[in-house]
Amino acid sequence: MSEQDRANLLYTPRAFRLRYRNDREAFIHDCIDWPAGKRPASYQAESMAMIDAHQRYAVRGPRGLGKTAMEAWNVLHFALTREGEDWKAPCTASHWRQLRHFLWPEIHKWSRKLKWQAIHREPFDTKTELLTLNLKLATGEAFCMASAQNDEESAEGAHADNLMFSFDEAKIIPAAVFDSAEGSLSSGDCKAVAMSTPGEPIGRFHDIHTCKPGLEAWRVRHVTCEEAIREGRISAEWVEQCRALWGEASALFQNHCLGEFCAADEDSIIPLAWVEAANERWHELQESGDWGEFTCDGVDVARSGDDRTVNALRYGLAIKELRRTSKEDTAQTRGRVRGILTAYGGRAAIDVIGIGAGVYDGLREEKFNVSAFNAAERTDNKDKSGEFGFINVRSAAWWNLRELLDPTNGHEVALPPDTFLTGDLTAPKWRVMSGAKIQVESKDDIKKRLGRSTDDGDAVVMAFWEEQEPEFAWGVLLRKAQAKQAAQETDPTPA
């Protein structure tokens, strides 16, 4: 065999597959066209090597570290180095949107950056091979499984000589889905990769990272905030802004910036997980465009200084958008609310403590449908159980939103995925006072503790506080039931 023939053997599809089959780190360095000065982060390269070395591998860390890019590289590597063999690469996530809008667009993006000459094949055909949500080659396929919330059986049906499961945003993927996939990993060249920003310290992803019995086969990696900053994936300024916005001890900061598992404080009125679930429902509505009719504008009027006036526009059980303004007088705010009510109908719930009273009075004189929200007023409302009352309207209104967000109550509240709003809703604390009355932390006390006002959260709370619509206020339902019962006891004669 001549020297030229030997050289040619080094540059064949088979040689490519043999060279990179078990070397993902080399694949991403050699087979991706990196711009000058750009390279994968050291923890990304390390993770690729760990996937080669172990059958099951899990990564957690702060937002922005490049998890989705790693998953895209992994899928492309697996497909290209197993081409010609029997292979499958199922991808699942906590929500279908994560696959459709993040993972698969990332796979498409990185496929365009591949050095196809080094891979020794033509680029993927976008009509027959690399499709919107799957990659179909001659002997195998990478594809999306339906939403992991209710698709355990599809994981059981994934079988191939070469199999790789990708669990994207794995923190709330049910344990049953992991278990269903486990049955397919018993033989052959099979791997499972799970990546996520952490959430509450519950669920299979958390169990994997805390090495619970039976999960010892998983190797785990915690990418720290410092590593992500050092590699230029997130900025130290962003971290400090989040620390100031949410508080260092908050679940938001611990999850999103430090990559640590953390539950909401026991004395926080609304858990972060409930808000995130409402964010997912908002995304679904945004995609469908089916918002329904406008219901209410919750108006938190700026008091002074850095406070902002916030309009929370509610459609049914969804806050479609937040509109924020600053340093405008009451006439301007009144005109803004007037415009919303004229265009969409509905009503406005207006904070009347301080200068908001002028906005309310003016619109009421103009015969607009407005209600006054006075956080300091007393209320006879009760919580859902009927066991607890409230110190004031503020406490009752915040608790009303808590009960609407509580997944055990079956409501489908949708909230925009907004950093400020999420921070506001998870910030207030509560306690039970004498007389079995609940007190929610005051706006002024929160501002002293966090250095900012919860304007967005208060506007949303007001948008849902509608005593004249009993389905949105547990206390009103209870009072009506009690009044009906009292009337029957007084006059048992049937009507």
Q: Please report the DSSP string for 250-291 in residue order.
A: SHHHHHHTT----PPPTTBSS-HHHHHHHHHHHHHHHHH---
Look at residue 268 in the predicted model and tell me its pLDDT: 87
**473 class by beta-carbon count within 10 Å (0-12 exposed, 13-18 middle, 19+ buried):** buried
| Biggest distance spanned by C-alpha atoms of the chain | 109
pLDDT in tens, 1-48: 455 444 444 568 889 999 999 999 999 999 999 998 899 999 999 999
Task: Give the Cα separation of 262 and 248 in Å (integer).
Answer: 12
Burial label, 465 (beta-carbon count in 10 A; 0-12, 13-18, 19+)? buried
Q: How far apart are CA 41 and CA 227, in angstroms?
A: 9
Give the Cα-Cα-Cα angle 351, 316, 336 (nearest 5 degrees). 40
Task: Calculate the alpha carbon distances from 250 to 77, 224, 418, 460 in Å.
Answer: 38, 17, 16, 21
Calculate ∠ Cα 419-423-428, nearest 5°. Answer: 165
Q: Give the per-residue pLDDT at 149.
A: 47
Please tell me the predicted confidence (pLDDT) of residue 300. Answer: 95
Predicted confidence at residue 153, as pLDDT, reads: 53
Contact 157, 183 (CB under 8 A): no
Order the strands of the 347-351 sheet from edge to edge. 318-325, 309-315, 294-300, 347-351, 370-373
List the structure tokens of 31: 């087979």
C-beta pairs of 477-481 under 8 Å, 24+ apart in sequence: 478/381, 478/382, 478/386, 479/380, 479/381, 479/382
Question: What parts of the chain have a pLDDT lower than 50?
Answer: 1, 4-9, 148-150, 468-478, 494-495
pLDDT at 484: 63
Question: What residue type is assigned to position 431 of the chain?
Answer: R
Structure tokens given for 159: 């079988």
Predicted TM-score (pTM) of this structure: 0.78
**pLDDT value of position 470:** 36
Query: The tokens 């007001």 sit on which residue?
Result: 462
Checking DSSP bridges between strand 162-168 and strand 318-325, what pairing results, if any? unpaired
Q: Which two tokens stand for residue 123?
A: 């680029």
Q: Which domains does the chain have, with CATH numbers?
A: 3-230 (3.40.50.300), 272-480 (3.30.420.240)
Q: Which amino acid, 185?
A: L
Encoded amino acid at 401, one letter: L
In the prediction, which pLDDT does 155 show? Answer: 56
Residue 164: beta bridge partners?
A: 191
| CA–CA separation, 75 and 85 (whole Å) | 15
What pLDDT, on a 0 to 100 scale, did the predictor assign at position 247?
86
